[in-house]
Structure 1
Amino acid sequence: PNGVKGYLKMVMTALESKVLNDGTGKVILESIAEWKEDGEIHPAALRAKEVLDARQADKEIQDLDKLILAGRFHASFKVIGALSTRMSGADQLNPQGIKKTNEVRGCFPLADLGFTLVGGDFDSFEIIISEAVYKDPKLRADLTAIYTCDCGSDLDCKICKGKGTYRKKIYAIFAQGMFDVSFNDVMVSKKTDNDLYDKGKRGVLGMNYGGTSYTLQTRIGISEELADKTFEDWGKKYPGIEKARKRIKKMFCSMQQPAGRGTQVIWNEPKDYIESLLGFKRYFTLENKICKALYDMAQNPPPSWKNVRIKVKRREHIQTASGAVQSALYAAAFAIQGSNLRAAANHEIQSTGAEITKEVQRAVWNLQPSGVHLWLVLPLNIHDEVLTPCKPELVDKIEEAVNKTVESFRPVVPLIKMDWKKGLTSWAGK
């Protein structure tokens, strides 16, 4: 990280380099990679992109070295690898991190001799779950509306992909409003140097998981004014999204400043947990206790602190040492609170998705006889996709089990859909 900071600071002003105070993580570098200067790409943006590409390449090399050493793909997971109940990679190789390009995934046939490969993934999984959370009629109408494409069923069309009709993706809708362009403009920009669709995707996912206008600034690289406007307009366009945001805030915003920043901080007892759409709870007991301890200490600092007769400068303000420590304690508590708000919003969506995907995988496992028996199915679950090498005679039974399981969740997630394929030659075919 220090080497990266030095590399970037070489082409940054002192003011610009302050963004590196938050580290050199992926989100920070992605925001720098969007920087412009007088309409041209900022030198720091080029260097940030170089670092991101180098890190990705290094990660790929590490994974490929491990696979070559093992001689076989051993997909190993922690079944509950996160508080949301999502799985995580185990045993020093994370299958979830394997690059999604056809070039890489084409190297994984997955099915041994005598087996065939079947599988699929959920269509816009996180989006359709978030739609179920928000319950916004206009959002559902926009996601389900069918439009006729004027391309003449061109197979190379980026909008309808030769089908003649299409549904608007929410990422494109978000980008339309953010940049004041047409839907077509957004779609034809995909995979170009100015990929508006990708920016829309980053914006939507950031907003879905408790992000603010500042999130839009850092993730997309837009101005503060545009970020504030986009954030406000999105809530007005889809009131259900704003309502869900306020609900989460009411549940987990333990500290408030009704009179504004720099005024008295008031404690409001937060909820202890949040549930997914399927009832899986994520507790915040420890985080809430830490917040309360920090708040109490900031409210009533030891008398000895006030006896330290020195002044300090913190964020351009001159404070007493005691006052500066109190401000730092509040800042730490507010940071934890912000993390709780994001985790709560995340949980409703990602935990629901994780459980549904596991249920589909479980339905496939049910076709494997108990006890000592030859393998008939070997299902693999990675986020929103399920694949399984299987004996050819079970292909139709697996599809039936998958469809039945997916359909059982429609009362909870009305727009749920899984694209299932048979006779795959590799992981890339999915």
Structure 2
Amino acid sequence: MPQPPREDRVFAVAVVGAGAAGLSAALALARDGIPTALVGRHAPVADGRTVALLDGSVRFLDALGAWGGIAPQAGPLATLQIIDDTRSLFRPPPARFHAGEIGLDAFGWNVESRLLVEALRRQARATEHLTLFESDAAEAVAGEEFSEVRLVDGGRVSARLVVAADGGRSPLRTASGIRVRDWSYPQSAITTILAHDRPHGNVSTEFHTRGGPFTLVPLPKNRSSLVWVAAEGVARRLSALDDAALAEAVTAQAQGMLGTMRVDGPRGLVPMRGLSVATPTAHRLALVGEAAHVFPPIGAQGLNLGLRDAAALRDAVLGAVREHRDPGSRAALAGFARARRLDAALRSTAVDTLNRSLLADLMPVDALRGVGLLAMSAIGPLRRAVMREGVLPRLGAPEQMRASR
């Protein structure tokens, strides 16, 4: 059982995990005056990964006061282009979607993951009501009125609610007994940063291949990030190439559209896996980010969904505090649990369906995918609805966050 808490280490919420989702959740809570602890070491992984922050995520980060430090290092995604490179008989022509069609300058902004985390960390250090504990959590023990987070350095932090933002293999989720469904794909993703001869024109291009999506996403200047999803054996062979040989293979796969390329950043090889939970809450525990859902790096869903988790959690906790209710109770978190479970399920299904349709190599599946892409290209109302759904899910009313401070 938890020990009687030390007065200087008692918080309304303790967020465990100092990645982008955990930092954002802690910032959202603290900026509304909720005493918050953030437990975790700052250790960004240099593997060439970027995140395409969709418009709703950008507005949320702006409400947290963090976007100003991120924007100069981010590249706008003004146009999305999909090219079917499956060699199928039912290949549709390339489809292009322009942000201006739905009144936006850009669908979102692409930034290196490590730079995003560093900017959020700077903001966290300067935020009132937020206390940082630079240590990993050993465990969290839930009691009747509070939970105790025990740190590996021997420290203890007590809170009404613990937020698990400790990643896809979350120890806190495992200890809670929340049921998990996880799966893997016979693929891996090669990630890196590229420099290229020709300007990208702020166009993000996704080639649909039989091995999976091959995606080039704009970064500032003549640079792009690469996510190349391929069969495991192919991905391992590509990953073993030196930088010059990998750049040559990327240039060929991209059909020379950006001219000659060269590797201009760290490289990574990411296994393709997925994870979902039966519920994102337990006794005095809420899950956000990859503790609640894991996506393959397809369709810019992973972190954007994690930021929606953070915004929704902030709304639930703030509502409970304002009504003098226990923010860690199941009743206070019931609405959060329902909404996040549905959002994650819908996004997971969409990403899984697209990826498996590319792997299937079945004529009826190819025909359905081709007809769907043609419909999105040709039918204006459908096209705009799909674009809005992809980039404009509500993120916890950032305008209200500004007004409430």
Please confirm whether the aligned pair reaches a TM-score higher than 0.5, indicating the same fold. Answer: no
Bigger proportion of residues as helix = 1
TM superposition score category, shorter chain reference: under 0.3
| TM-score of the two chains, using structure 1 as the length reference | 0.24
Bigger proportion of residues as strand = 2
